Structure 1
Amino acid sequence: MARKVGPLALRLSKGRSPEVSAGNLIVQTFTIKPFDMPAGAAALREQVRAVIREHVTDGDIVRRANCWQVNDPEFSRVLGKAGLIGMTWPKQYGGHERSALERYIVLEELLSAGAPVGAHWIADRQTAPLLLRYGTEAQRQRWVPGIAAGEIYGCIGLSEPNAGSDLASVRSSARRDGDDWVLNGQKIWTTNAHIAHIMIGLFRSEEGSERNAGLSQFLIPLDTPGITIRPIINLTGEHDFNEVFFDDVRLPADGLVGTEGQGWSQATAELSLERSGPERYLSSHVLVTELIRHAGGSQDAAVLALIGKLASEVWTLRQMSLAVAGRMAAGEDPALEATIVKDLGNSLEQAIPSLIQAVVELDLSSDDALALLTAQLLQVSPSFSLRGGTREILRGIVARGLGLR
């Protein structure tokens, strides 16, 4: 089968390396290997479904769409008690030492059910893994167990007003003052900063450095004096995003995460975690399942064809996403493959509400479940290709990774 990546055609076949064709140029990329689910997968799925049945009782169906940005701290604590956060982490930090594919199963079940997992999502996906990889022992002991318990939440301070997609142009500064660091600047589009306890922020720690040189990452408790968090309200009236201001924010020396000056490489490695998971193609999944329920025993050829198309698209993306998860579990950094999954997944989940609107007669002002979900996702889905890197940036990464630029 062929999938488009900009002007490139990505051909995937089981057991063979896919090729990218651009005119007469053929470039070998990576092999998609089939992954067998671990023993006990069915029991784990049923455990997650039981938790969802017992605790997800909110009748507001709109909250099921794009659910990994819907916050419910109580539900996050329930998942923590059930051992469903921090699944792959060492037990000494509150983790459970389970496999990456077991964690993947849990994420699939939560996302496909539209469970409200937004409060702990970033901390589980990025904050704690970053601290386990680059942090000090004191940082791990202080923060990671609380994240595993579903009680400590994190946010990521990357984008700035003049450094969004061009992240290397970060200008927020960190300067040394004795044994301390002093932070100044602004971060924007910071998801969940208003409920987060800590931020992992990227700052320019070497005065006068340019582009991706001289950047460092810092672990910033958000109750530190000098920090101001202001809400950014989106089109649907929801408060997910924030702008965060730093005015002479003073951190002790151990606020540095990893190695001074290596913030760029640390942050880009972290983006593989952000770009490769099932949330990159399941944000609109509850709309697909609602379409199937809506269709019932319908013989409408257009509706049935759309259901078949969406099922095959999701299946393919799932195989690709699982392949990335498997490589990351093996200690590799499949940044290129994760980028491809993110781009293709965003394209699909953005298209789903429009595709459904085109084949199903809907009154978007009604309280019909399919209409409510379609109306909600028509409004929020344009943002899907912005978070985690714009489509243009992603395709530039793919082109460089394939030696085409």
Structure 2
Amino acid sequence: MRFGFTEDQQRFRAEVRRALRSAEVRAAAAEATGADGVEPDARPLYRLLGKLGLLAVHWPVQFGGEGRPLTDAAIIAEELVRAGVPDTFHVNTVQIVGQFLLMAGNDEQKRRYLPALARGESFASVLYTEPDAASDLGALRAVAEPDGDGYRITGTKVFSLKTRFVDLGLCAARTTPGAGKYRGISLFLIDMGAPGVTVSVIPGVGDEHFHRVDLDSVPVSGDDLLGPRDEGWPLLNEALAIERTGLDYHLKAEHWLQAALDALIDGDPGSSHDDRLEQIGRWYGALTADHVLAWEVLTGLASDRIDQVSTAVAKYHSSELAQSIAAWAVGIPSPEQRANRIRAAVTLDSAYREAPGLTLSAGTSEVMLQIMAAAFDSIGQEEH
């Protein structure tokens, strides 16, 4: 169990903080932050972060990284959020699709895609969820039909983020229909500018927009198959566990609680807010535990240990905590006049609209509970 950081990690964190305090980064982060349902283009900010070498430090040098440990990448992720950098591009491009390429891609695919992702010159999104499949990827219907040396993919994907800004999609599709619910699924890298790809916005209340992606016989080459054909399900299971560190949700919870405290102070600077102190203390205690859970998963991943139960616990706890803090903060008064709204109030307004989706993405809370329950049931059977 980790309860502190090494001196090297603390020095590295200080270096990252200094880089993120520059006037150029602060201005770009402000321009990239959405509010009131408006989603700006965050790519200029990420190109700047790429020039500073702050996007993929744990990747091998030959693929655009610095060969640093995964824990250093987690430190950067923490400091990006604390510096006001919207994190979705980082989560999707680097932490999910980039990590998937490192895990399952061949050397040619890594050389083709990873350096541009690390420089902030290219961006990626995940195309898993479908209108009738919800969180059950075993119910997906998108089909990849053989076409010469490649495939043509047809289907519809929903609820992806930043998709209208990205160049690359990691898509799950069936290459052997009828093989079984969790069999015959393959993974592909799709050029989002290819013929047959149509991206549209799904109306919603969040500042980040969900998208619908219609794939109409989209051509992909055999070189765009990621991992073995029909072996997508085991890869997806492993990748989802890596995705569920809980750190990104923890950082949202931390950011939203700080915004709530700023709003309290701004609303009544002279008050000690005694009626809220107990709950605030409970939130801080929960955040501390949440941070330990996330870093327990991260240190395991850094040692090539993937524990499905630990990741489910971390994801469940962090997403539920962030959602609870956002709901609690609704009771904090804020100025009525939009022109007078402080930054904290804008953040909390955005948080309330974003929070419901946190317990759905990367696996619903119900799925996380099922994973935990199955593990406990297995332990009980072994004891008897």
What is the TM-score normalised by the length of structure 1?
A: 0.84
**Equivalent AA in structure 1 for residue 170 of structure 2:** I
Q: Is contact 1:147–1:153 with CA below 8 Å preserved after alignment?
A: yes
Tell me the equivalent position of 1:5. none
Q: Which has the higher helix share?
A: 2
Q: Is the 8 A contact 1:113 1:286 kept in 2?
A: no
| Residues 185 and 247, structure 1, Cα contact 8 Å, conserved in 2 | yes
Aligned residues: 368
2:142 to 161, 167, 172: 172
How big is each residue's C-alpha offset from its partner over 1:319-374, in whole Å with a ceiling of 9 and x where there is no partner? 0100000111111112221111111111110111222334x444465513333322
Aligned to 1:112: 82
Distance between the aligned counterparts of 1:211 and 1:70, measured in 2? 39
Alpha-carbon distance in structure 2 between the residues aligned to 1:325 and 1:59: 26
The 5-angstrom pairing of residues 3-402 of structure 1 reads 33-34=1-2, 36-54=4-22, 55-57=25-27, 63=33, 72-236=42-206, 238-293=207-262, 294-295=264-265, 298-358=271-331, 360-363=332-335, 366=338, 367-402=341-376
For the 8 Å contact 1:64–1:115, the answer to whether it is kept is: no
The answer to whether the 8 Å contact 1:181/1:253 transfers is yes
CA offsets 1:200-221 (integer angstroms, 9 cap, x no match): 1110110222211110101111
Counterpart residue identity of residue 400, structure 1: A
- Greater Cα offset, 153-162 or 115-124: 115-124
Q: Deviation of residue 298 (structure 1)?
A: 4.0
Counterpart contact for 1:364–1:375, Cα < 8 Å: no
Instruction: Give the CA deviation at 1:141.
Output: 0.6
Runs of 4+ displaced beyond 3 Å = 58-65, 291-298, 360-366
Whether the 8 Å contact between 2:253 and 2:318 is mirrored in structure 1 is: no
Residues 269-308 of structure 1, C-alpha deviations (whole Å, 9 max, x = no match): 1112222141122224323223334446742222322321
Aligned equivalents of 2:76, 2:272: Cα separation in 1:
34
Distance (whole Å) between structure 1 residues aligned to residue 108 and residue 30 of structure 2: 41
Bigger drift between 150-159 and 100-109 goes to: 100-109
Q: Which amino acid aligns with 1:337?
A: S
Shift of 1:399: 1.4
Residues 163 and 332 from structure 1, CA distance in 2 versus in 1: closer, same or farther, beyond 3 angstroms?
same
Note if contact 2:28-2:44 (Cα within 8 Å) is conserved in structure 1. no
Structure having the higher strand fraction is 1
Give the counterpart letter for 2:305 in structure 1.
Answer: E
1:244–1:260 Cα change, 3 Å? same
Q: Secondary structure at the match of 1:283?
A: helix
Question: C-alpha separation between the residues in 2 aligned to 1:222 and 1:326?
Answer: 34
Q: Give secondary structure in 1 for the equivalent of 2:163.
A: coil
> SS of the counterpart of 1:174?
strand
Q: Deviations over 1:32-88 (max 9, x none)?
A: x125424332332222222332212269699389xxx97521221222222221111
Separation (CA, whole Å) in 2 of partners of 1:81 and 1:176 = 40
Q: Distance in 1 between matches of 2:32 and 2:149?
A: 49
